Copies of this chain bind each other. A is one copy, B any other.
Amino acid sequence: MGHLSPGLLTDLYEFTMAAALLAEGHADLPSVFSLSVRRLPPSRGFLVAAGLEDVVRFLEELRFSAEDVAALARLFPFDPAFLDWLVAVRFTGRVRAVPEGRIVFAGEPLVEIEAPFAVAQLLETYLLNQVTVQTTLATKAARCRHAAAGRLLVDFALRRTHGTDAGMKAARCAALVGFAGTSNVAAAARYGIPASGTMAHSFVTAFDSELEAFRAFARRHRADPVLLVDTYDTLAGVENAIVVAKELAGALGDAPDPGGGRRLAAIRLDSGDLGALARQARERLDAAGFPEVRIFASGGLDEYAIERLLAAGAPVDGFGVGTAFGVSEDAPTLESVYKLVEIDGRPVAKTSTGKETLPGAKQVWRRPGFSGDVLALAGEPAPAPGADALLTAVELDGARDPAGALAAAREHFEADWQDLAPEHKALMEPEPYPVARSKALESLGLELQNAGGNQGSA
């Protein structure tokens, strides 16, 4: 990006529309935009809201420099008055949002922005980008957690996420839903996530033999090592790992070992029939007197593969999930939209075939016991005693640190996760969760639909 500001990470039409609004005298009209996911992918029974923290930072820091404006002027013949306006733009509006980590469903606003029309319009692309990828990845990660049924999960995705920004978000989303760690060093450092790692095939192939490679790694690794046993023949690799486990148990004399007596922590399987190999490895480790050495599996795993392995009784204690999680392979995106729902106090909607929107600023109410949501107009009373309002006012004060924000999101997730009924967590054909609409919202939607949106006065 050179010296250009994040505010330029947007679609050209946001700027050309804002310029037209300014010229028409509409730039400052009060407006409300609503960000939601239109439909869930078929396999998804729920979503985990994520991305708000980056949205908040973007809003807090939104500004356009003289250099940004010069770059814009080279791309399109903007009115100079618009470029002057742009330099003065700050986000002075209000944000209501569902906190990160909460479980949400199709049609429910995740973020609502109240701001002058032209400013709110400029936010569309970045907000969609951040909320879409992070909600996609947090949801995928939660499905892995469901499949792993209490076993350890580690994020291995960075090498094949869509760029490094996605790699950071994948690690954070994984931690948000309870993964034990990430292999991503930058994310571990930034978000305060435990960093985790084993060894690669390259290390093994660099030595004259696998046993020699294992010995060197065990000797030099300043923590309990995990040995990767599938470089050549997996079961021979397990035998080599057992040799090293015995040597470690006897305490290697020349090992730098500040933590006291290190032990073989685990073996890692990364190819072949993971279920069969895990069973054979378990038998051999147990027979050799190492029932506490764990078996860690990786290699193309996702929630479906984890569920199959565990259903077949594979004795796997932990899973590294990489690519399939990090690109959310079976559902790499969501139908997220950012729509104008109110302008100058007047609710609006579009009526395009299959892409209808609901008018008005909204609230999402959750009935006690996570037993059903009600989508209502903002300002309506709770539909039931004890119902929980999902959208809350967001402070734009730059106060939270990355680790603190993640910790708060984790708490939100754990609370909702515990309450969400298992039938909505199913990996395939999940039971749809009930989301109703309030009568007031329903009536207003029908009214605008019948009027052809708001163009009755054409």
| A interface residues with partner B (beta carbon < 8 Å) | 1-2, 4, 6, 8-17, 19-21, 23-24, 26, 29, 31, 33, 71-72, 74-79, 117, 121, 124-126, 128-130, 132-133, 136-137, 156, 158-169, 183-186, 188-190, 195-206, 208-212, 216-217, 219-223, 230-234, 256, 258-259, 270-272, 299, 323-324, 327-329, 332-334, 336, 339-340, 343, 348-355, 452-455, 457-458
Contacts and interface: CB of A to CB of B under 8 A. Distances in A.
Given A164-B126, A165-B163, A223-B77, A11 B333 contact: no
Contacts of A219: 20, 23-24
A271 B197 contact: no
Number of copies of this kind of chain in the complex: 2
Given A16-B197, A160-B128, A202-B340, A453 B333 contact: no
Contact of A76 (B168, B223, B231): B223
A99 to B, nearest CB: 21
Question: Nearest 9 CB-CB pairs, A to B?
Answer: A209-B458, A163-B165, A13-B197, A12-B197, A162-B162, A165-B165, A202-B340, A20-B220, A162-B166
Contacts of A230: 352-353
A355 B162 contact: no
7 contacts: A20-B217, A76-B195, A78-B222, A129-B163, A205-B340, A210-B458, A332-B332
Given A159-B128, A323-B333, A327-B333, A202 B167 contact: no
B348 A205 contact: yes
B132 A159 contact: yes
Given A125-B158, A231-B453, 20 more contacts: A1-B186, A2-B190, A8-B186, A11-B158, A21-B206, A72-B185, A76-B223, A129-B158, A133-B160, A133-B161, A133-B163, A162-B165, A162-B327, A166-B166, A204-B350, A205-B454, A232-B350, A232-B351, A271-B355, A328-B332
A86 to B, nearest CB: 12
B189 A160 contact: no
Nearest to A270: B352
Contact of A9 (B128, B158, B323): B158
Contacts of A452: 232-233
A324 B201 CA distance: 34
Contact of A458 (B165, B212, B339): B212
Contacts of A457: 208-209
B272 A354 contact: yes
